[in-house]
Amino acid sequence: MSVSTNHPAQSVVSTFDVHDPATGAVVGTYPVHDRHAVDTAVAAAHEAATWWRDLGFAGRARHLDAWRAEIAAGRDELAHIIHREMGKPVSDAKLEIAMALEHLRWAARNAEKVLGRRTVPSSLLTVNHVATVEYLPLGVVGVIGPWNYPVFTPLGSISFALAAGNAVVFKPSEYTPGVGLWLAEAFTRTAPAEPVLQVITGLGETGNALCRSGVGKIGFTGSTATGKLVLAACAENLTPVLMECGGKDALIVDADADLDAAADAAVWGGLSNAGQTCLAVERVYVHADVYDEFLAKLVAAASRIQAGAADSKIGPITMPKQLSVIRRHIEDAVARGARAVLGGPEAIDRQFVQPTILVDVPEDAAAVTEETFGPTLTVAKVRDMDEAVELVNRCAYGLGGTVFARRNGRDIADRIRAGGISINAFVAHATIPALPLGGVGASGFGRVHGPDGLKEFTYAKATTRQLFPSPLPLTSFRRDHRVDAIVDQLISVLHGRKRQ
Ligand code: NDP
């Protein structure tokens, strides 16, 4: 059994195994923390939260910088744990760590500027007051994370929640508990006496207990279906929730696009991490004028990618149950008239799925409307960019998107309903620390990263101080007819005359 110093040992009644998705070998055994253990962790976190809050922005930034250095120093070990637990190539795991560290640095450096106390103007009627606003920590934040980016994704919440002054109790996915524990142990080396960042391990029930534990907020990243369960559990205590859910992102190719760059982005966006990316390109819409040329480039590039070999650029499908979803989407599309120009139903072999490109897929097929989470792409020909935008926006999800165009990229991007769009590159908006990341519709609500991501884990506090008594006693029973008349006149001056 894996041993950890920073998660509660009480009330462990059972354990669960983690399997290497490529081989099925057991690579770790972890405790299932029950409700009592979760409540114990949250109670300890409440105590630590006071110490952490009182360190102030500068004190916390020093710890967060030290944690960043610990992660950077241990990146080889961490990348191998990611690879072992969820299957992505070690080099991709390193890239994921690099991206997460950028966001961690940004959060530590910018928390005071974004959240610190500042004076705001008062108004004509309140000119005798000085007004300030500041953003205060919620206390303890519960973070529930997925396995597909087991460092980048939870740190999107954890780094920002910590920088804002909260303690965190983190429930990693049951597929990647070792990654979560490694991160928390690295933090504990920088603050050994205080359980500011704890990890609880277990299955869905453990996450449910965290939702019901009375934390100040839950930062959830995962599927839309689980997000609904989290929301329902949080309703019990009116616990607010950040929802980073699934997606069905599209890539649009206009007639004047750089087709080589667009094909390269579509292949990486659709196939990297074996397609198990919330922001993965799952649908491609291509202007009719360049459709054939683009498709030829896409298929040529995708056929060079293979899953399964020791040095493959894409790994196995992490969750065994996802294979049936991928199979259903491909088989249903083909049964409804689609053609597999690469891969197809036979692309699925044990835990590996070879790149699959489907064309002529009906727009209401599951392969177009539901998150597939596999190395598959649907490609559709559109007569113009109006049709492309219309089809992209028909989807219930609205997480991200990519546009390749020389002249009208910005115009097309502005018309897409999604939390973020990258023009002439894939996923850049998720990697720039000052930009918010999140979705609309079935992709969730709230934001990680950037100033919005810091404010997400705080509450706004407004304070006023009266500098001198108002000549107009407005909020007093001393207000008389003379003051009422002045207020009436002021309304006319400031906002318009009364109807006669
Ligand atoms: P899941 O929804 O299956 O699980 C997410 C987390 O929720 C896991 O830690 C899981 O624990 C936990 N959980 C499960 N049931 C409950 C419950 N009843 N109450 C509380 N927590 C629970 O998602 P995956 O881990 O499979 O991740 C993939 C999904 O995440 C995809 O849909 C992807 O699009 C989305 N995602 C979204 C991102 C974004 O930024 N919007 C980023 C990355 C991924 P356990 O694993 O133990 O079941």
Q: Is the CB of 177 under 6 A from ligand 1?
A: no
pLDDT at 392: 98
The label of the residue with tokens 């250095």 reads 69
Q: Is the CB of 201 under 6 A from ligand 1?
A: no
The Å distance, Cα 21 to ligand 1 centre, comes to 17
Q: Torsions phi, psi of 178, nearest 5? A: -65, -35
Q: Is the CB of 200 under 6 A from ligand 1?
A: no
Dihedral over Cα of 52, 55, 57, 62: its sign: negative
The Å distance, Cα 392 to ligand 1 centre, comes to 24
β-pairing, 376-382 vs 283-287, is: parallel
pLDDT at 10: 54
Q: Is the CB of 239 under 6 A from ligand 1?
A: no
**Closest to 405 in 3D by CA, of 209, 265, 199:** 265
The label of the residue with tokens 């049936």 reads 324
pLDDT at 432: 97
Atom of ligand 1 nearest to the CA of 149: 43
Q: Report the DSSP beta bridge partners of residue 169.
A: 142, 198
Could you give the residue numbers annotated as active site?
A: 244
pLDDT at 222: 97
Residue whose CA is closest, atom 23 of ligand 1?
Answer: 222
pLDDT at 2: 38
Dihedral over Cα of 147, 151, 153, 154: its sign: positive
Q: Report the DSSP beta bridge partners of residue 135.
A: 460
The Å distance, Cα 161 to ligand 1 centre, comes to 19
pLDDT at 11: 54
Measured CA to CA, the distance from residue 284 to residue 282 in angstroms comes to: 7
Contact 126, 133 (CB under 8 A): no
How far from the centroid of its chain's Cα atoms is residue 476's Cα?
48
Q: In the chain, which stretches have pLDDT less than 70?
A: 1-12
Instruction: Indicate the top mutation candidate among 223, 277, 325 to test ligand 1's pocket, ranked by most ligand atoms within 8 A of CB.
Output: 223
Residue whose CA is closest, atom 14 of ligand 1?
Answer: 204
Q: Is the CB of 185 under 6 A from ligand 1?
A: no
Q: How many residues does the chain have?
A: 500
Q: What is the pTM of this model?
A: 0.95
